[in-house]
Amino acid sequence: MSEQRIIPYLAYDDAPAAITFLCEAFGFTERFRMPTKDGRIGHAEVAYRDNIVMLASTWRVAGAASPRDLAGVHTQLHCTVDDVDAHYERAREAGATIIGAPADQPHGTRMYRAVDPEGHRWIFGSPIAAKK
């Protein structure tokens, strides 16, 4: 696999809880955590296979806010998974807010949409098997 060249970096008011949620609901694995003295997160990394997402606690002085503090959707992340229906069930059972159930799309992907507890929007999809 080639090296990941674009890495999302997300801000969360409760970054420790976000890490737990991303691992339990979406199947990420925690790779790194740099806590601060006050219990917040200075930097963390979670991975899905060989792809990472960086995150940290909000830092308003530097303009890093949680989506819940912003109007409208400012970010969506798309992740390819092996079995979108199984992934959907895991996320739903872990309490993810589902905003679109799995459905086949005309561009050849079966996908669903979810929102994490602070409002980051996630799209998970799997290629639709070619019909013979």
Q: For the segment 6-36, what is each residue's pLDDT rounded down to a tens digit? A: 899 999 999 999 999 999 999 999 999 999 9
For residue 2, what pLDDT is reported? 66
- What is the model's pLDDT at position 132? 47
For the chain, the C-alpha Rg in angstroms (whole number) is 15
**What's the rounded Cα separation, in Å, for the pair 41 and 18?**
10
pTM of the model: 0.87
Q: Which of 63, 56, 114, 107 is nearest to 84 (CA)?
A: 114
- Residues of the chain short of pLDDT 50, as ranges, are 132
Q: Which CATH number fits domain 9-63+72-127: 3.10.20.30, 2.170.130.10, 3.40.50.300, 3.10.180.10?
A: 3.10.180.10
| CA nearest neighbour of 76 among 110, 60, 103, 100 | 100
CA–CA gap between residue 58 and residue 69 (Å, rounded):
10
End-to-end CA distance of the chain: 28
